[in-house]
Copies of this chain bind each other. A is one copy, B any other.
Amino acid sequence: MNAYSRIDRCRAWPALKAKQAENLRLALGPERVSRRLVPAGAGLRYSWGAMDVDDETVTLLADAANELGLVAQYRELASGAVMNSGERRMVLHHALRGQPAGAAVKDGRDFRAFYEAQRARFSAFADAVRSGAIRGSTGKRFTRVVQIGIGGSDLGPRALYLALEQWARQRGELAVRASFISNVDPDDANAVLADTDPETTLFILVSKSGTTQETLANEALVKSRLGSVPGMDASKHLVAVTSETSPLAGNPGYLDSFFIDDYIGGRYSATSAVGGVILSVALGPKTFSAILEGAADADALAMEPDILKNAAMLDALLGVFQRDVLGRPATAVLPYSQALSRFPAHLQQLDMESNGKSVDRSAGRVDIPTGPIVFGEPGTNGQHSFYQLLHQGTDVVPLQFIGFEENQTAPDPQFEGSTARRKLNANLVAQIVAFAKGQDDQDPNRNFPGGRPSTLLVGKMLDPAALGALLAHYENKVMFQGFCWNLNSFDQEGVQLGKVLTKKVLADGGPADPTLAAYARLLGLS
């Protein structure tokens, strides 16, 4: 294993540690807004004018990025190095979208070709479902597709589907509506099933191992529902997305199965078959391809060694500075786009599960703060909710705005002199400046301190390519931050203990551990 360094061991670190937040009230101006703008893929631009860092800090961050070899590590990763060191796995989600080309070949196996072959298979399958060539067991067309999966098999695909559902609908591409069942709480599956006609519904079971407790329990519930309809054959309504070695693969209980492998981590799997099957069925294979192209575009930009031209790396370093130098423990993702309503929930997993860790790749304890808390809701909704704290609370929360010039849908009538889109974006612009510049008032309760930093990812419209670039931008940002902290961003050992203890609670006779038993009594389990 290579020995990687950590940002707090870089030569720039002492100087970085001594830096303070720049005074945004003074520093932010139009020239800076025009200057601090970086392409982020598929027409997206990353605007960092309202970050409270001076140019010298960025030079120091660039120096650290070079010393840590962030881009070199990314190249290593993309070319098939075993970057998921604990689990001894490669990390190949970039190969899902063809970037860098031809790189993911190992021991004679071309992974890029494998992923492309799967994509060709599920694209054909999706076309057949959409055209009515493949139908339910009673001869009816599929009008609904339901994904059964949890974590990465749910959050990313769900966020992407919601992001493009109305876009596709307006363009006549939404052939099949999608729903999702994730929670082991049976009220989740029962709610979805109550709105679903089994005869016209296709279920996609997603579990890499084929052993995920929640997903199998939900499959059992769904199958019992399908089994209750006379004349129906459940196996004609189920497909599996899983690994080739899982019990679900090629199983006659499923209409078909599509494959991923151990080199696609759950939270990085939205551009694999995990997201691809449902998105291709619902929105069409062309739409899914366009997402991949946008992601590939962002991936290519993330190879750029100059931090001022590499939006994902710059975003990553600015975040590390917020976290480790300015001591800010959380960050908010604020998309001014209702279609991105669940995108913050996806980023919450992506970021917090990747970098919410304290042990580095050399098994050393990381003694500076690592991954932040990530939360967020769409604007303008959030303005009427938690922005009060963001403006006037005792802690500073760095903000990540996302915005678009155009709507996905029509109509958008004028009201009181402007369209709703114009109002939406006026609010976004106003918030960035209000947070940064604040405003003095003699009434302390109406005083705005300002100095609250933000960035903005801005695009023309939230279309498939822009969405793909957005997704990849954050994947790459999280990857670069993991490199800064020398973390393995691709495992999740922190979820294991809960699984072990759950088994003890479910064991025959109830939990032997008296504390577990006491809580079990509280919940009526014993």
Task: Determine whether the beta carbon of A426 is less than 8 Å from that of B518.
Answer: no
A105 to B502, CA, bound (A): 53
Copies of this chain present in the complex amount to 2
Q: Does A2 contact B (CB under 8 A)?
A: no
B-contact bits for A56-97, CB 8 A (1 contact / 0 none): 000000000000000000000000000000100000000000
Which residues A467-526 have CB closer than 8 A to chain B?
488, 491-502, 504-506, 508, 511, 513-520, 522-525
- Cβ of B194 and Cβ of A445 under 8 Å apart? no
Q: Which 5 A-B pairs have the closest CB atoms?
A: A356-B389, A151-B384, A405-B524, A430-B501, A349-B385
Contact digits for A26-64, partner B, Cβ 8 Å, 1 yes 0 no: 001110011001000000010101000000000000000
A194: nearest chain-B partner, CB-CB? B169
A413 partner, pick from B188, B224, B370, B421, beta carbons under 8 A: B224
- Interface positions of A from 171 to 230, Cβ below 8 Å from B: 182-191, 194, 213-214, 216-218, 220-221, 224
Contacts of A439 in B (CB 8 A): 497
In the complex, identify which listed stretch (A274-282, A314-322, A334-342) lies at the interface while the others stay far away: A334-342
Task: List B contacts of A364 (CB < 8 A).
Answer: 444
CB pair B505–A429 under 8 Å, yes or no, is: yes
Contact B426 A345, beta carbon cutoff 8 Å: no
12 sampled A-B residue pairs with Cβ under 8 A: A33-B515, A169-B194, A184-B380, A184-B424, A185-B407, A356-B386, A368-B394, A387-B495, A388-B494, A388-B495, A429-B523, A430-B504
Q: Is the CB of A187 within 8 A of B409?
A: yes
CB-nearest residue of chain B to A517: B30
Is A420 close to B, CB under 8 A? yes
Closest Cβ neighbor of A436 among chain B residues = B515
Q: Mark A365-379, 1 if CB is under 8 A from B, else 0.
A: 110111101110111
Partner of A186, one of B357, B420, B516: B420
The CA-CA distance from A187 to B410 in the complex, in Å, is: 8
A37 to chain B: which residues have CB within 8 Å?
A: 522
Q: Indicate if A152 sits at the interface (CB-CB under 8 A).
A: yes
Given contacts A182-B381, A352-B393, A522-B47, contact A387 B446 (CB under 8 A): no
A119 close to B (CB within 8 Å) = no
- Is residue A403 within 8 Å, beta carbon to beta carbon, of the partner chain? yes
Q: Does A141 contact B (CB under 8 A)?
A: no
CA distance A255 to B381 in the complex (A): 27
Q: Which of B185, B336, B413 touches A338 (beta carbons < 8 Å)? A: B185
Complex Cα spacing A229 to B405, Å: 30
Residues in B neighbouring A379, C-beta threshold 8 A:
183
Select one of B34, B182, B221, B426 contacting A502, CB under 8 A: B426
Interface residue ranges of A133-171 to B (CB < 8 Å): 150-152, 154-155, 165-166, 169
Question: 15 more A-B contacts (CB under 8 A) besides A356-B391, A391-B495, A434-B498?
Answer: A30-B515, A33-B515, A33-B519, A150-B381, A185-B378, A186-B419, A187-B409, A216-B415, A357-B393, A363-B444, A430-B499, A430-B516, A433-B501, A433-B513, A433-B515
Q: Which of A345, A392, A438 has the most CB of B within 10 A?
A: A392
Cβ-neighbour of A187 out of B338, B373, B381, B427 (below 8 A)? B338
- B393 adjacent to A221 (CB under 8 Å): no
Contact B381 A183 (CB under 8 A): yes
**Contact A523 B447, CB 8 Å, known A221-B411, A221-B420, A430-B498:** no
Chain B CB within 8 A of A240 CB: no
Tell me if A417 and B506 are in contact (CB < 8 A).
Answer: yes
A248 interface residue per 8 A CB criterion: no
Which of B359, B438, B516 lies in contact with A445, CB distance below 8 A?
B359
**Chain A contacts with B in 432-482, Cβ cutoff 8 A:** 432-434, 437-439, 443-449, 456, 458, 460
Judged by a CB distance under 8 angstroms, whether A330 is at the interface is yes
Task: For the complex formed, measure the closest distance between the CB of A205 and the CB atoms of chain B, giving whole angstroms.
Answer: 14
